[in-house]
Structure 1
Amino acid sequence: MTRTRVPGWLAGILGGVALVVVWWIFSMTAFPPQEGTTFTPVPSPLAVFDWLFLQGNIAGAWNVFAPTLAAAGIGYVWGNGIALLLATVVLLFPRTETVITQIAVVSYCLPIVAVGGISIVVVGGAKSPGDPSATAIFLAALVCVFTTVVGSILGFTAADRSALDVVHVYGGGRWTQLRKVRLIAALPAILNALQIAVPTAFLGAVLGEYLGAITAGVGPTLIRLQGQLDSAGVWSVFLLCAVVALVAYGLVGLLIRLVTPWVAGKAV
């Protein structure tokens, strides 16, 4: 008996439709509008669709997301750059692994809300309206460090020992081993860590804006909509955040497949 396999794209569509149906039923049964009002903390998908498209709020989405995306992008580059540098130091000087790993773990375990409050005082918000927040950039960079450091170290140490020995026999040092063997072997792990860091950096930027000291971006928009008890608007922004993070994650995943085709078993 042959099983019929559902294509991945069809499974994704069916899963999305099922999620919307469950959301709709949940909003109508568990969180009906309060008596005498139309307010509900969990609006229906129709209410969100109305807010986004029928009321035309989707037209201003880019102005809302532009500062946040800029902050997330800058923080992503800085955070992952520092993480890759730390992983390279561990590879060249193995005795530093314990210290650098502890630094990465501490950066992951720090309460980000408390760090964000301190960073507002230290680095401040945006220099001018529409600019990315310095606090958002800092938090976006901070949350990227742990995953990229750990993923890069694991990738660097996954190199084939015989290949390393060949480089050593021909007079190559650690730096040559890094360039000729370890970097190629570690590339899939490093790129996977960088992919995971994409939505993480975006979340850090949103949180940095949400803490204040900025007038434009996703964070201030959420604060304004919550103050107006506009639940449909809040949920709409949340869903747009999820879409942005998912699209960015998917684009990096596509880049990984193009850069490392041998991982998927394709010919180089």
Structure 2
Amino acid sequence: MTTTDAPGKGRAIHWEDIKLPAWLTGTIGGVGLIILWWIISQIFLNPSGQKIIPSPLDVVIAYGTAGWDYFARNFSVTLVESGIGYLWGNGLALLLAFVVLLLPRLEGLAMQLAILTYCVPIVAIGMLAVVLFPVPKPGEASGTAVFLAALSCFFTTVVGALLGLKSADKASLDVVRVYGGSKLTQLRKVRLIAALPSILNSLQIAVPAAFLGAVLGEFFGKIEAGVGLAMILAQQNSDAALVWALALASGAVALAGFALVGLVARAIAPWSKGTAQ
């Protein structure tokens, strides 16, 4: 493939030189995944000839059959649980990071605590949480789901906040110290501003983590509604299409929360994305 720059001359155009808009590449990728999904659903059948994996059309039909009220009722409960856990987990993580900056000797203990919350299997913690938290009343959030949601985002925010707070410019810290500023003043005037992009990125990553933690917490029961309970009931009824519908809707909700926090982060700290202040 060539283009003519001058009479009798041509310049080769390589495919890698052609740049497509981001929305177009995303659309092509999405359509390709749906086509691949449909092909796989038609190939993999059980011995009786039934589909092991529901097709995209089956999932769309499941959405219509279940209805808006079904998804709204279950997702509203899980969103409340994940939101409460998100606030608690990130709040405690930021508080711990600030305390470590003011009292550096506690850093080793704080990191051990954060790593412990990350390494211990969440299923084992969930079994303990079921015993610790009482059965929620109808309409109340599950304590187990809230706890696991908070736990799921704690480690990421602690590490991100500490890395950001430690990235502050040393010259700026020295200026505050020379003028008689304390560590708390350094934290407010210099470290917090320097750490803001890292903290906001951690808070963005924590959104899907908190939602996943809440769903896992609902798998342990003691609830009357929620995405986790809806998945369990769909599995027990052998309704694979509804399970897929719930899973895809969960991914869409988590992605929407991730994008929303990203927009907020860009508005609060535009310099972190390379845009003008």
Task: Give the TM-score normalised by the residue count of structure 2.
Answer: 0.92
Aligned partner of 1:151 in structure 2 is: 160
SS at match of 2:30: helix
Q: How does 1:118-137 map to 2 (within 5 A)?
A: 118-128=128-138, 130-137=139-146
Aligned partner of 2:63 in structure 1 is: 52
Q: How does 1:48-87 map to 2 (within 5 A)?
A: 48-53=59-64, 55-87=65-97
Residues 140-187 of structure 1, C-alpha deviations (whole Å, 9 max, x = no match): 011111000000000000000101011111110100000000000000
Runs (5+) with no aligned partner, structure 1: none
Q: For 1:21 and 1:58, how far apart are their aligned partners in 2? A: 26
Aligned partner of 2:36 in structure 1 is: 22
Q: For 1:217 and 1:137, how far apart are their aligned partners in 2? A: 12
Q: For 2:39 and 2:259, how far apart are their aligned partners in 1? A: 29
Query: 1:92 aligned to 2:105?
Result: no
Q: For 2:152 and 2:275, how far apart are their aligned partners in 1? A: 33
Q: Following TM superposition, by how much is the alpha carbon of 1:241 offset from its aligned partner in structure 2, in angstroms? A: 0.3
Runs (5+) with no aligned partner, structure 2: 1-12
Q: For 1:209 and 1:11, how far apart are their aligned partners in 2? A: 36
Identity among equivalent pairs (%)? 52
Aligned partner of 2:226 in structure 1 is: 217
Residues 90-127 of structure 1, C-alpha deviations (whole Å, 9 max, x = no match): 10011111110010000001111111011011113422
Runs of 4+ in 1 over 6 A off after TM superposition: none
Q: For 1:64 and 1:34, how far apart are their aligned partners in 2? A: 34
Q: Following TM superposition, by how much is the alpha carbon of 1:14 offset from its aligned partner in structure 2, in angstroms? A: 1.4
Match for residue 178 of structure 1 among 182, 187, 204: 187
Describe the shift of the 1:34–1:52 C-alpha distance in structure 2 as closer, same or farther (beyond 3 A).
Answer: farther
Q: Following TM superposition, by how much is the alpha carbon of 1:58 offset from its aligned partner in structure 2, in angstroms? A: 3.6
Q: How does 1:1-40 map to 2 (within 5 A)?
A: 3-29=17-43, 31-32=44-45, 34-35=47-48, 38=50, 40=51
Q: Which amino acid aligns with 1:124?
A: P
Match for residue 106 of structure 1 among 110, 113, 116: 116
Match for residue 254 of structure 2 among 217, 242, 245: 245
Q: For 1:237 and 1:89, how far apart are their aligned partners in 2? A: 40
Q: Which amino acid aligns with 1:173?
A: S
Q: For 1:15 and 1:239, how far apart are their aligned partners in 2? A: 16
Residues 200-231 of structure 1, C-alpha deviations (whole Å, 9 max, x = no match): 00000000001111111111111110000000
Aligned partner of 2:53 in structure 1 is: 42
Q: For 1:265 and 1:201, how far apart are their aligned partners in 2? A: 28
Aligned partner of 2:217 in structure 1 is: 208
Q: Following TM superposition, by how much is the alpha carbon of 1:250 offset from its aligned partner in structure 2, in angstroms? A: 0.5
Task: Please say if residues 125 and 135 of structure 1, whose CA atoms lie closer than 8 Å, have aligned partners that are also in contact.
Answer: no
SS at match of 1:32: coil
Q: CA RMSD in A?
A: 1.4
Q: Following TM superposition, by how much is the alpha carbon of 1:87 offset from its aligned partner in structure 2, in angstroms? A: 0.3
Q: Following TM superposition, by how much is the alpha carbon of 1:56 offset from its aligned partner in structure 2, in angstroms? A: 4.9
Q: Following TM superposition, by how much is the alpha carbon of 1:8 offset from its aligned partner in structure 2, in angstroms? A: 1.6
Q: For 1:98 and 1:125, how far apart are their aligned partners in 2? A: 36
Describe the shift of the 1:218–1:196 C-alpha distance in structure 2 as closer, same or farther (beyond 3 A).
Answer: same
SS at match of 1:86: helix
Q: For 2:87 and 2:222, how far apart are their aligned partners in 1? A: 23
